[in-house]
Amino acid sequence: MIKLMINGQERSWDGDPDLSLLWYLRDEVGLTGTKFGCGIAECGACTVIVDKQAVRACITSVSDVVGRQVTTIEGLHPTGDHAVQKAWRELNVPQCGYCQAGQIMQAAALIAENPKPTHDQIREAMAGNICRCGCYQRIENAVHLASTGV
Amino acid sequence: MNIIANPERLRGFERRIRIEKISRRSVLKGLGIAGGLVLAAPLTSRQAFAAYQTGAAKMPHGTVVDPRVFVAIGSDGIVTIVAHRSEMGTGVRTSLPLIVAEEMEADWSRVKVVQAHGDEVKYGNQDTDGSRSTRHYLIPMRQIGASARTMLEAAGAKRLGVPVGEVKAVNHEVVHASSGRHIGFGDLAADAAKEAVPNVDGLKLKDPKDFRYLGKGQVGIVDLRDITVGAAQYGADVRLPGMKYAVIARPPVTGGKLKSFDAADATKVPGVEKVMEVQGWPWPSKFQPLGGVAVIARNTGAAIKGRDALKIVWEDGANASYDSAAYRTELEEAARKPGLIVRKEGDADAALKAADKVIVGEYYLPHLAHVSMEPPVAVANVKDGKAEIWAPVQSPGGTREDVAKTLGIPEDSVTVNVTLLGGGFGRKSKCDYALEAALLSKALGAPVKVQWTREDDVRHGFLHTVSVERIEAGLDKSGKVVAWRHRSVAPTIASTFAAGAAHAASFELGMGLVDMPFEIANIQCENPEAAAHTRIGWFRSVSNIPRAFAVQSMVGELAHATNRDQKDMLLELIGSPRIVRLDSVKDLWNYGEPYESYPIDTARLRRVVEYVADKGGWGRTVPKGHGLGIAAHRSFVSYIATIVEVSVGDKGKLTVHQVDTAIDCGTYVNPERIQSQIEGAAIMGLSLAKYGEVTFKDGKVQQGNFDNFRLVRLDEAPLLTNVHIVPADVDTPPSGVGEPGLPPFAPALVNAIFAATGKRIRTLPIGKQLET
């Protein structure tokens, strides 16, 4: 039996300890905000925050996060009003929206670590998150907006 | 339901073939009859208000204009508006209901949008493709809103005891101005519902100067908040009690089939519950499943591990030798010989022989995969002779039809719930994944989710075609282009529907080949044969991608050959402001639109070129090592021009400094979403230009995921993208937005690269070509 902390709530899992955190969150817990995009840590759609770091849930196993705090998009802010979320809405960032939870989690981790990133730092830090619709200009601007006050 | 409809069809090519056998005239007559059946007759009539005609009536099930179908008002004042098209990122789930709200004077903050099931008899055509939604539904949605407003005003006047001419709906209330009395929509809901639905012919539409929402771009998409908090529901997010999770191993070669499999190791994987064969259909099989072996598990992760442990023997079939490099040579050889003539004006052969100089450009564009961020996925629950589907589909009506056919049950026993689409780009207009889920659910007697992995998506999709485009342009002594021969060779989408189809269908010819707008005395367009060896399907902008690339690259080549400015060359080729006559073209597609409403108008094409040149600073001085490129293209009956500024640095490092795009899409609903579509098109265009390529070896796709089917990321995105919307009169018919931004990007980019480096890119992707 594995004990996990997801969005501040304790959960236990007695299935395959090697199951990826992505499928555990989505299929076993029902936290579907974390998305599947590639399964090999190439696209960032499954980004969650473990302790303070953005990680790809698809290549992280359930046993890897024992004793650590896992935060998903659902737990990022109690009312969904994290500065990054507000900036995303302010600039109408999403098109289809599917990758955006991962983008937002990556951006939240970036700003927590570097509260005033430059545009170059934003472009670099967000480069692991693919958006097929091509919302990049707005993503860049929204991270900048979130870091300077919405 | 009868339906002869669908000449341009995206849903059932077999229908199209049937139509092509009968005369154009009888098709039109037949369509008229079909249209009459669709509508709830006395309340509705097509295009009663339209100053222009559209092709909406020719789509399967046409349009339905009935406020009782699309609008409901609660006693609490909440106005519920049905979105009947699929949301894949274009904003249509917001834009169409917004039109209704505008016209009925509803306050958008008190509007709730609900998604329609797949039911085309009820809602009219639901195919969300071809950049059609706004152009086909602007008028019908205005009529629906105006009908609802008229009913509310009638009810309000009765309640207030005044003549109906003295009241007016204003911001969610019916107001009697002279007495200052007003009644909210909620209070009037029950009475308004009892009013007769007005005949559309007598409806009065709002004066555009009173618009609060249309054309303003002040309204965010309805799903914005849900998306940012992880609550938006995509197909992948549907969960049902007792649901099983499935992934499928499919034949690696198109047309291949299962010979045998050993599931011993797979069934040992923790969480795997069952392994079973999935029925496949012989190729070409339209949207039917490819077949293979399904692994059913308690979660997707276990199903994937189980699939990895399967041992399968496949029989590869006729496409086992498909090889991209060899196929390219075949296409090139075909492009160097005469092919089927699909447009002919003057005598291009003679004029090329007599020309002072002939410039030849041969361009190659490979297969592409759609790779929507949400890979194909569907949930099905089939029991007691009924099927319920939850899926991200662009064609809810077509999905319903195909599920019914596949399961052998009537269509009215099938419910298709349309979720949000995590991207579509044409992939999700083919519902094979929903059919797989339906078959598995039926077999298991339980709800099933079929999840495609990214590798499945890249290897087993309906790829964008691969093509060679060869253009020969003849110049006279003065440098004027007097002859133009364009041969376009590419496997056709028709091959996915009919074995042996080797020539482009009229809708493919009509995307940048036969509708080429240049004013040249001798023009010949040819379409040599090309056999398909994999499933070919619609990909955002479709054949416009290779055609615009070839034609607009050739403009750059001609500018260089004659030592002229690219933009001047482009305008000279477009020629005089005129309506282009295409008398030699049989079955001119024109995106399904009547030519009278949507002609090829070179004045508009010239205007977007001038507009982008002005706004984007064409001719500005750029730093050393930088270059500017321009391209313009009409597609989906919209006019677009793009300017790109690039530099090429050490080791061929390509930087896109600025992109400016002008779009003339006629009158428009939501400029903010037009901007987002065009911004996105620049990214997709850059991705396909830099990296986009699916290749085959021994019949199998060689790529599988984002590590080898690469996409542009933020650190290589353009540093600045500007979108310039050409202002349009409200009477200018609306035209496409979702797709037309894409085609001009890549040629503008390679023209810019040429300006910066002198290197002409004729093969996409660019890959390592700039390194040397």
For residue B7, name the pLDDT band (cuts at 50, 70, 90). Answer: very low
Burial of A144 (0-12, 13-18, 19+ CB in 10 A): middle
pLDDT tens, position by position, B482-534: 999 999 999 999 999 999 999 999 999 999 999 999 999 999 999 999 999 99
| Token reading at A13 | 């899992």
Question: Alpha carbon B247 to chain centroid distance?
Answer: 27
Q: How far is B504 from chain A (nearest CA, A)?
A: 28
- Which range has the worst mean pLDDT, A58-62, A144-148, B216-220? B216-220
Q: Which of B221, B225, B228 to mutate to test the interface with A (most CBs of A within 10 A)?
A: B228
Interface A-B: count of C-beta contacts within 8 A: 199
Tokens of B414: 């099938």
Q: What is the dihedral of CA A72, A75, A76, A81, to 10 degrees?
A: 140
> Is pLDDT above 70 for B30?
no
Q: Name the token pair of B269.
A: 């994987």
CA B763 to chain centre: 24
Alpha-carbon span A34 to A22, nearest angstrom? 7
Contact B301 A73 (CB under 8 A): no
**Three-state DSSP state, B683:** helix
Contact B581, B498 (CB under 8 A): no
Per-residue pLDDT at B187 exceeds 90? yes
Per-residue model confidence (pLDDT) at position B730: 83
CA B360, chain centre distance (Å): 31
- The candidate with the shortest Cα–Cα distance to B21, out of B498, B343, B342, is B498
Could you tell me how far CA B732 lies from the centroid of its own chain? Answer: 22
What is the pLDDT, as a whole number, of residue B731?
Answer: 85
pLDDT reported for residue B37: 23
Rounded Cα distance between B455 and B451, Å, is: 11
* CA angle centred on B476, ends B474 and B481, rounded to 5°: 50
Distance, in Å, from the CA atom of B474 to the CA atom of B725, rounded to the nearest integer, reads: 35
The per-residue pLDDT for A150 is: 67
- Cα separation, B189 vs B192, whole angstroms: 5
- For residue B772, the model assigns a pLDDT of 77
Report yes or no: B522 and B346 within 8 Å, Cβ to Cβ. yes
Contacts of A72 in chain B (CB under 8 A): 230
Find the angle CA(B592)-CA(B597)-CA(B602) to the nearest 5 degrees. 100
pLDDT of residue B551: 99
Dump pLDDT digits (tens) for B289-302.
999 999 999 999 99
User: Reading across the β-sheet that carries B626-635, which strands appear in turn?
Assistant: B626-635, B638-648, B654-664, B721-725
> Rounded to a whole number, what is the distance in Å from the CA of B179 to chain A's nearest CA?
41
- Closest CA–CA distance from residue A129 to any residue of chain B (Å): 7
Please count the other Cβ atoms lying within 10 Å of the Cβ belonging to residue B317: 15
Q: What is the tens place of the pLDDT at every residue in B418-461?
A: 999 999 999 999 999 999 999 999 999 999 999 999 999 999 99
- How large is the average pLDDT for residues B13-22? 31
The structure tokens 């890959």 sit at B767
Which residue of A18, A56, A95 to mutate against B (max B Cβ within 10 Å)?
A: A95
Interchain CB distance below 8 Å, B299 and A19? yes
Q: Do A122 and B245 touch (CB under 8 A)?
A: no
The alpha helices in B600-706, defined as continuous H runs, are 602-615, 671-690
Please judge whether B425 and A132 are an interchain contact, meaning their C-beta atoms are less than 8 angstroms apart: yes
Which residues from chain B sit within 8 angstroms of residue A124, using beta carbons? Answer: 715
* Shortest Cα distance, chain A CAs vs residue B3, angstroms: 32
A30 interfacial to chain B (CB closer than 8 Å): yes
Residue B380: closest CA among B498, B204, B235: B235
Minimal CA separation from A67 to chain B, in Å: 22
Query: Which residues have CB under 8 Å from B26's CB, separation 6+?
Result: none
A33 and B231: CB-CB below 8 Å?
Answer: yes
What pLDDT does B15 receive? 30
Question: Considering chain B, what is the average pLDDT of its residues?
Answer: 93
Identify all chain A residues contacting B270, using CB atoms and an 8 Å cutoff: 15-16
Q: A115 vs chain B: nearest CA distance in angstroms?
A: 19
A103 interfaces chain B, CB cutoff of 8 Å: no
Q: Is A147 on the interface with B (CB under 8 A)?
A: no
Q: What's the pLDDT at B50?
A: 55
Tell if the CB–CB gap between B680 and A135 is shorter than 8 Å.
yes
- pLDDT score at A81: 98
- Starting at the edge strand found earlier in the chain, the sheet holding A69-71 runs A9-13, A2-6, A69-71, A47-50, A53-56
**A56 and chain B: CB distance < 8 Å anywhere?**
no
Q: Distance from A89 to chain B by nearest Cα, in Å?
A: 6
**Other Cβ atoms within 10 Å of B168 Cβ, number:** 17
| pLDDT for the residue numbered B20 | 31
Q: Tell me, what's the pLDDT at B5?
A: 29
Q: How many CB atoms lie within 10 A of CB B623?
A: 8
Whether the per-residue pLDDT at B620 is higher than 50: the answer is yes
| Strand ranges for chain A from DSSP E | 2-6, 9-13, 47-50, 53-56, 69-71
Interchain contact, A133 vs B89, CB within 8 Å: yes
Tell which residue, B472, B491, B465, B607, has the closest CA to residue B545: B465
pLDDT of B49 > 70? The answer is no
| Positions of E strands within B562-650 | 626-635, 638-648
The pLDDT value recorded for residue B6 is: 32
Question: How large a percentage of chain B has pLDDT more than 90?
Answer: 92
Confidence of residue B729 (pLDDT cuts 50, 70, 90): confident
Q: Nearest-CA neighbor of A29 among A64, A51, A49, A4? A: A4
Closest residue in B to A91 (Cα) is B220
- Cβ–Cβ below 8 Å for B423 and A132: yes
Could you report the per-residue pLDDT of B105-152, keeping only the tens digit for each? 999 999 999 999 999 999 999 999 999 999 999 999 999 999 999 999
Which pLDDT value is given to residue B1? 24
SS3 B693: coil
Assess whether pLDDT exceeds 70 at residue B31.
no
Cβ pair B229:A33 closer than 8 A:
yes
> Residue A139's closest chain B neighbor by CA?
B714
CB-CB neighbors (< 8 A) of B715 in chain A: 123-124, 126-127
Q: Is A98 in Cβ contact with B301 (below 8 Å)?
A: no
Q: Retrieve residue B176's tokens.
A: 């009697």
- The long-range contacts involving B556-565, CB below 8 angstroms and separated by at least 24 positions, are B556/B629, B556/B747, B556/B750, B556/B751, B556/B754, B556/B760, B557/B359, B557/B361, B557/B473, B557/B760, B558/B359, B558/B473, B558/B475, B558/B481, B560/B754, B561/B357, B561/B359, B561/B475, B562/B475, B562/B479, B564/B479, B565/B619
- pLDDT, tens digit, for every residue of B709-725? 999 999 999 999 999 99
Instruction: Please answer yes or no on whether A80 and B229 come within 8 Å at the CB atom.
Output: yes
Interchain CB contact of A105 with B (< 8 Å)? no
Q: Give pLDDT tens digits for A14-54.
A: 999 999 999 999 999 999 999 999 999 999 999 999 999 99
Q: How far is A110 from chain B (nearest CA, A)?
A: 15
Among B228, B234, B374, select the one facing A89 at the smallest CB separation: B228
pLDDT for the residue B524: 98
Q: Kindly give, in sequence order, each residue whose CB lies less than 8 Å from that of residue B323, ignoring residues fewer than 6 positions away.
A: B696, B697, B698
Phi, psi of B554 (to 5 degrees): -60, -35
Residue scoring higher pLDDT (A104 or B52): A104
